[in-house]
Structure 1
Amino acid sequence: MSDTTKPIRIGLQLQPQHADYQTIRDTASTAEDLGVDVLFNWDHFFPLTGDPDGLHFECWTMLAAWAEQTSRVEIGALVTCNSYRNPELLADMARTVDHISDGRLILGIGSGWFEKDYDEYGYEFGTAGGRLDNLAESLPRIESRLAKLNPAPTRDIPVLIGGGGEKKTLRLVAKHADIWHSFGDLETIERKTGILRQHCAEVGRDAAEIEISTAVQSEPDELGPKLRELGVSLFTVAASGPDYDLDLLKKWIAWRDEQNG
């Protein structure tokens, strides 16, 4: 799993909170001009930080707009909440945004966790285990629907699964994901990549096929090489409204360019 041959990529999670849409749109364009590789938003209905009832926008309608607005950068949710949409509908939405973007969509998905979203929008929150079981049921349905749609997707849409649960989530990553978005410190990521290797072996999957992604909050010079040694190749910086400070993002892009040569 400690594959260091994959090129380094830099993502920006452009959190759709506390800003008007013009600012979000302008920041997306700026990020693409800076050279970011992947532009993510998130799938929530309310802000996660700051004023809990502050400005906020929906995920997938925004991704469709980004698909038209941008021309190079890959786009996706970090991550879609499986609970909020029928899996067949989600597959059709993903296929449509894939075509709008000329094949630049990443289908990021997770089991969901933000209880306020569920309560306010009328979804059953249930338990963490139950939501993971639902995700396990949904992923094959998404794959099946993608195979039936006409027109078909422009490519095999990469699936990103976010989460670190060692028994259920990482097994789903081994079976279904092209990208695993990880959380935690270096020790945690190292341990979980080992567990992911075990799951891959059990399901007959080459673990090297899975790109490792993680969120980064500090500067790249010290952290970047250490994460790289663990096989991480997609490093994602988060920025929140209203101002969307991209200074840290610029440093990670410069580091990527130095490392990739």
Structure 2
Amino acid sequence: MSIRLGYQIPNFTYPGVPDEDLFDTVIAQAREAEASGFDTVLVMDHFYQLPGIGAPENAMLESYTALGALATATSRVQLSTLVTGNTYRNPALLAKCVTTLDVVSKGRAILGIGAGWFEREHHDLGFEFGTFGQRFERLEEALTIIEPMLRGEPATFEGKWYTARGAMNNPRVRPDIPIMLGGSGEQKTFRLAARFADHMNIICDVEQLPHKVAVLRQRCEEIGRDPATLATSFLVMGMVGETEQEVKELAGTIPEDRRNRAFLGTAEQVAEQLQERVLGAGIDGICINLIRNGHRPGVVAAVGAALKPLVS
């Protein structure tokens, strides 16, 4: 499993599109991504829209329900969250959700997972947030249960946060389902990725990438793992305009806290930047979202055409 070119859909607010037609627009984006060379389609695992993208009351779909529907609307792309908030689901249930998605999609599911971070969602929906350290304790325990279940083995574990007693996971269509961690923590996330993951999606400012790649490789070597066996990707906010005028307009909409993760320009200009600054830093693949205009027919295809040669 590898994500070389992923298209993330983080925005479900489309001007002029009523809620009952919203998912048609999501399907159209996924199909356009599939047809234009993207190998993976991803959605966020959130219940409210994120700060910097939109208001919290804006539309947000539950991720695994949406992915299950996209599985029936596509035929080739891998399907994943970027990434699942571990705190939102019991780990054995999450393993079951991902395995069901794999069955529905005929073997195209990836488990993307992280510790969880959006405190307001936890507060409003009644999920325990806890401390930073507690969330990573929970993630480690969850992976201890989830990994064997995704490999077709019963999970038995008695921990501080979670318990499983011979938890089984059938039906299954693959011997194992890939695990992707998302984040940037060098001490906790990267160590867990080295132990449990097939893929690491690094989320950080682009200037930090060479250092993060070096530390991730070090974490693998510390436990005797070949770093080449842990694939990497980087999440990009794509502010891609079809014309120079649109590029200028998009420049004023980049969230302040995303300026070091956003790439601005035409599709060809953004491709050049990603070649140098992301792939040149030692990253294997790119995940891109097009928050402002990805719902507009033709935009995803244009970006796919520009980016596909970089990762082929």
The question of a shared fold, defined as TM-score above 0.5 by the shorter chain, is answered with: yes
Distance 1:174 1:56, change over 3 A: same
Selected match of 2:182 from 139, 143, 162: 162
Selected match of 2:43 from 26, 41, 44: 41
Amino acid at match of 2:26: I
Selected match of 1:239 from 290, 302, 307: 290
Partner of 1:181: 201
Amino acid at match of 1:231: G
Partner of 2:101: 97
Distance 1:207 1:108, change over 3 A: same
Give 5+ residue unaligned stretches, structure 1: 1-5
1:73 and 2:124 matched: no
Distance 1:110 1:179 in 2: 12
1:111 and 2:115 matched: yes
Distance 1:230 1:99, change over 3 A: same
What's the offset of the Cα at 1:78?
A: 0.2
The answer to whether the 8 Å contact 1:7/1:260 transfers is: no
Distance 2:224 2:173 in 1: 26
The answer to whether the 8 Å contact 2:38/2:308 transfers is: no
Amino acid at match of 1:193: V
SS of the residue 2:110 aligns to: strand
Distance 2:225 2:306 in 1: 31
What's the offset of the Cα at 1:251?
A: 5.0
TM-score, with normalisation over the residues of structure 2? 0.76
TM-score, with normalisation over the residues of structure 1? 0.89
Greater shift in the superposed pair: 112-121 or 70-79 = 112-121
Partner of 1:13: 8
Partner of 1:152: 172
Distance 1:96 1:124 in 2: 26
What's the offset of the Cα at 1:50?
A: 1.6
Partner of 2:191: 171
The answer to whether the 8 Å contact 1:103/1:155 transfers is: no
SS of the residue 1:105 aligns to: coil
Distance 2:125 2:178 in 1: 28
Number of matched pairs: 256
Amino acid at match of 1:11: G
Distance 1:173 1:248, change over 3 A: farther
Distance 2:32 2:301 in 1: 11
Greater shift in the superposed pair: 244-253 or 117-126 = 244-253
1:161-190 deviations in Å (ceiling 9; x for gaps): 001111111100111111111123444111
Amino acid at match of 1:121: L
Distance 1:66 1:157 in 2: 18
Give 5+ residue unaligned stretches, structure 2: 15-21, 155-168, 239-262, 264-269
Greater shift in the superposed pair: 79-88 or 30-39 = 30-39
User: Cα RMSD over matched residues?
Assistant: 2.3
Amino acid at match of 1:106: I
Relative contact order, CA 8 A, sep 6+: which one is greater? 1
Amino acid at match of 1:30: E
The answer to whether the 8 Å contact 2:3/2:39 transfers is: no
1:35-85 deviations in Å (ceiling 9; x for gaps): 211100010001112222122211011111111111001110000000011
Partner of 1:205: 225
Distance 1:185 1:247, change over 3 A: farther
Partner of 1:3: none
Distance 1:52 1:72, change over 3 A: same
What's the offset of the Cα at 1:252?
A: 4.5
1:87 and 2:82 matched: no
